[in-house]
Amino acid sequence: MGDRGPSPLRPPTTPFRVDSALSPIDRDLHPVVHLGRVAVITGAASGIGRAAAQELARLGLKVAIADVNAAALDELAKELALTYGDGNVLSVPTDVSKLDEVTRLHDRVYEAWGEVAVLLNNAAVGVKGTSFEGLENWKTIMDVNLFGILNVQHTFVPSMLHQENQSVIVNTGSKQGITNPPGNAAYNASKAAVKSLTEGLSNELRERPGVNVTAHLFIPGWTWTGMTGANKSAEKPAGAWTAQETVLYMLDRVRDGDFYILVPDNETRREVDQLRILWGAGDVVEGRPALSRWHPNYRSLFEEYMKEGLAQID
């Protein structure tokens, strides 16, 4: 097999971190996820976005929902309005890849409610593009997954900077944007860019005096959205979480002030994700081949590394 090099370091047993000054706070009194405040959710018509809209409305927030699928968005708006009242729901069909439509969304929200407490930048598409094929798909995925988030940030953040009350921006990333598994280079690259963008946003907000806005990277695990997607009769796989479970976990981590919201599922625990991420970083540090986790000469070493790492944690 040749010189494989050493395994990356295991996750530290006592991670170095500084707990947020806001944590812990009683969830009923949290200044962001709180009765009467305003949430804006893109990609709200299905899946995680839909579950987030339902949960935040249940918690008493006013919700502005946006999605390119106008029919599905209207269905959700009627459902929410029936339960929580027309005055607490604003539905704005929006293609986030188009700046003028995002500007219209911003103006509608601020005209109606004058603030945003939770901005969930969730809209995304998953079309496929390899590293040298599918250029039109690359353009589509970058327009939505990356420039859609940029359009929302450039439109909403300047207004949120001047709000007195605390607010949060949550960008939906992906584990694929961190571990970069083979199969869809376009999607992986778009979500890697979202990670980098959100890290930069967090630093810029932190360094700006008097700003009461924080950024968070939401990294879902395996999430089943079949009940809100096309295949409504299918049964949820045992390994997946529901969209509601994923959203509840995300909101708990936002309340705790976490930046990286790495979500587990019934098949992949947090420690497994940590080891996989560390292995990927080890490719750079140790000079292994790119994506060595899937390289035939390193596959067995990766399996040993995972077994040893999980044994140390357990």
Annotate the chain with DSSP letters as a single string.
-----PPPPPPPSS------TT-S--GGG-SSS-TT-EEEEESTTSHHHHHHHHHHHHTT-EEEEEES-HHHHHHHHHHHHHHH-GGGEEEEE--TTSHHHHHHHHHHHHHHHS--SEEEE---------SSS-HHHHHHHIIIIIHHHHHHHHHHHHHHTT-SS-EEEEEE--THHHH--TT-HHHHHHHHHHHHHHHHHHHHHHHSTT--EEEEEEE--SEE-TTTSS-TTSPPPTTPEEHHHHHHHHHHHHHHT-SEEE---SS--HHHHHHHHHHHHHHHHHTPPTTGGG-TTTHHHHHHHHHHHHHHH-
Q: What is the pLDDT of residues 254-284, one digit of tens each?
A: 999 999 999 999 999 999 999 999 999 999 9
The pair of three-digit structure tokens given for residue 136, joined into one six-digit string:
């039109």
215 token code pair: 């950024």
Q: Active-site residue 298, yes or no?
A: no
Q: 222: exposed, middle or buried (C-beta count within 10 Å: 0-12, 13-18, 19+)?
A: middle
Per the CB < 8 A criterion, the answer to whether 218 and 250 are in contact is yes
Name every residue whose Cβ is closer than 8 Å to that of residue 219 and which is 6 or more positions away in sequence: 173, 174, 175, 178, 260, 261, 262, 263
pLDDT tier at 313, thresholds 50, 70, 90: confident
| N- to C-terminal Cα separation, the chain | 30
pLDDT at site 235: 83
Region 114-120: mean pLDDT is 98
Asked if residue 8 has pLDDT above 70, the reply is: no
- Which pLDDT belongs to residue 21? 45
What is the reported pLDDT for 79? 98
> Do the beta carbons of residue 117 and residue 168 sit within 8 Å?
yes
Catalytic residue among 187, 249, 298, 305: 187
pLDDT one-digit tens code per residue, 152-185 = 999 999 999 999 999 999 999 999 999 999 999 9
Tell me whether residue 313 is exposed, middle or buried, using C-beta atoms within 10 angstroms of its C-beta: 0 to 12, 13 to 18, 19 or more. Answer: middle
The predicted-structure confidence for 194-226, as pLDDT tens digits, reads as follows 999 999 999 999 999 999 999 999 999 999 986
Residue 138 has pLDDT above 50, yes or no: yes
CA atoms within 13 A on the CB side of 49: 27
